Structure 1
Amino acid sequence: MLELKDITAGYDRRAPAVRGAHLTLRPGESLGLLGPSGCGKSTLARVAALLHRPDRGSVTLDGRTVTGFSHRAPRSLRTAIGVVFQQPRLSADPRLRLHDLIAEPLRATGRRAEVDARLAELAPKVGLVGDLLGRRPHEVSDGQLQRACLARALVLRPRWLVCDEMTAMLDASTTAALVGVVEEYRAEAGAGLLAVGHDPVLLERWCDRTTHWAEIVKD
């Protein structure tokens, strides 16, 4: 289970982006978190993904209370979560070819021997064919780069996925394709999903249940 209790977090303690948030996600469940732009959803998503330490509150993942965040989080917890952000160009190293972008988590965790097999498996699933894997971010479209970022999120076979406005910059066909990839992976792996967004139609069609931002935070 992924459980966030009484989370207050932000980048200025005098004016936190999130105040007193509670959220629970069960294994294999897909939860849509709906809210307007600027309400603090992305900050909470980063806390859920163990990328941002909250100022107050607790995060429990798979029965363990998280005490370290970002690079201080235990590897076993960090690698249990795959994350896809809204803006792929801000989350991708512009120097890396897409092949290396996807393989980066494997190499960082000492699993270089798995690179070729995982790339061969994931690239066609996310729609990266032909010479696309050999291109750098500036040589591909936003949609193609987001496909690579999704493959990177899946490459370690995480038990949990956090998709923060993953499809906000994409057209309808690419959105459908990437949601399909996520759901295929979830069906195979039994992974839980936190999908953050502002489109109620998408989240209600995609997720088992949807909760509004106002329902999980203090007034």
Structure 2
Amino acid sequence: MSLVADGVSAGYHGRRVLTDASLTIGAGETVGLRGPSGSGKSTLVRVLALLHAPDAGHVTLDGERIAGVRHRVPASVRTRIGVLFQSPRAASDPRLTLADLIAEPLRAVRHPRERIAGRVAELADRAGLTADLLVRRPHAVSDGQLQRACLARALVHRPRYLLCDEATTMLDASTQALVAAVITAEQQATGMGVLVVSHDPALLSRWADRVTEVR
């Protein structure tokens, strides 16, 4: 069981930003990814998350070569991958409450309504979000509180793989520790594979089982 990028090249509007990148994330494994700014780390995350189509190469998910991105991929496939981005504000709809933000992926695949509230409450509790925070919108909470909601959203489908793209960069030390603890607990409970993208060698050395680089 693994999530694999094999010889991936990708870019935007004809401009190549990633060339011939390969990466494997095994079940239960934490892989660190580093590289200089502009090396294509975030683009590789988006390709692995099935959000951006590669120009060359391909993604394989648990032995299945994936064709297509976003809604061209069946929900049963794309929901095996969760992603946590660097900026929670850029990744959040400002019109939604935190509860609705967490529930959004479940509603998108028409998850049974009677089960949504329970799953949201479970993940909010694990992420340290109190009931008074869940009824607020992004503008009324801190970056750390919003990122915790985004983490709960990323875990809502019980993904087999979680991709963290500089996900703790904008957080204070206590929130960084909480986010890492929630991810580690989920990984230990489910065997989830984790990718951690970071410029911080100390974070990678203590969190990742191994570290690879995009040049």
Smaller-chain TM-score bracket: over 0.9
- Structure 1 unaligned spans of 5+: 215-219
Q: Is the 8 A contact 1:5 1:59 kept in 2?
A: yes
List, as ranges, runs of 4+ consecutive aligned residues in structure 1 with deviation greater than 6 Å. none
User: Which residue of structure 1 aligns with residue 135 of structure 2?
Assistant: 134
Partner letter of residue 94 of structure 2? P
Aligned residue runs from structure 1 range 1-219, under 5 A: 1-13=2-14, 15-111=15-111, 112-214=113-215
Alignment-mate amino acid for residue 19 of structure 1 = T
Q: Summarize deviations over 1:160-180 as a string: whole Å, max 9, x none.
A: 101111001011111011010
Q: Residue 94 of structure 2 aligns to a residue in which SS?
A: coil
Q: 1:114 Cα deviation (Å)?
A: 1.6
Deviation, structure 1 residue 129: 1.0
Question: Equivalents in 2 of 1:64, 1:160: separation in Å?
Answer: 15
Indicate conservation of the 8 Å contact 1:68/1:74, yes or no: no
Separation of aligned partners in 2, 1:73 and 1:18: 22
| Cα distance in 2, alignment partners of residues 68 and 54 from structure 1 | 9
Deviations 1:82-118 (A, max 9, x none): 1100001011000000000000011111112221111
Q: CA deviation at 1:74?
A: 1.7
The residue identity in structure 2 corresponding to 1:28 is G
- Residue matched to 1:217: none
Query: What is the CA RMSD across the aligned residues, in angstroms?
Result: 1.0
The CA deviation at 1:71 is 1.7
Identity %: 58
Residues of 2 paired with 1:113 and 1:37: CA distance? 44
Separation in structure 2 between the aligned mates of residue 12 and residue 19 of structure 1, nearest angstrom: 15
Q: TM-score, normalised by structure 2?
A: 0.96
> How far did 1:36 drift?
2.2
Partners of 1:83 and 1:179 in 2: CA distance:
14
Query: Which amino acid counterpart does residue 148 of structure 1 have in structure 2?
Result: A
Deviation at 1:26, TM superposition (A): 1.2
* Partners of 2:9 and 2:31 in 1: CA distance: 20
5+ long unaligned stretches in structure 2: none
Alpha-carbon shift at residue 203 of structure 1 (Å): 1.2
- Check whether the contact 1:86–1:166 (CA below 8 A) recurs between aligned residues: yes
1:58/1:65 contact within 8 Å kept = yes
Instruction: Indicate conservation of the 8 Å contact 1:2/1:59, yes or no.
Output: yes
TM-score (norm 1): 0.95
Contact 1:6 1:56 survives alignment (8 Å)? yes
The separation in 2 between residues aligned to 1:101 and 1:80, in whole angstroms, is 19
Structure 1 CA distance for aligned equivalents of residues 50 and 131 of structure 2? 35
Q: CA deviation at 1:119?
A: 1.6
Q: Is the 8 A contact 1:106 1:114 kept in 2?
A: no
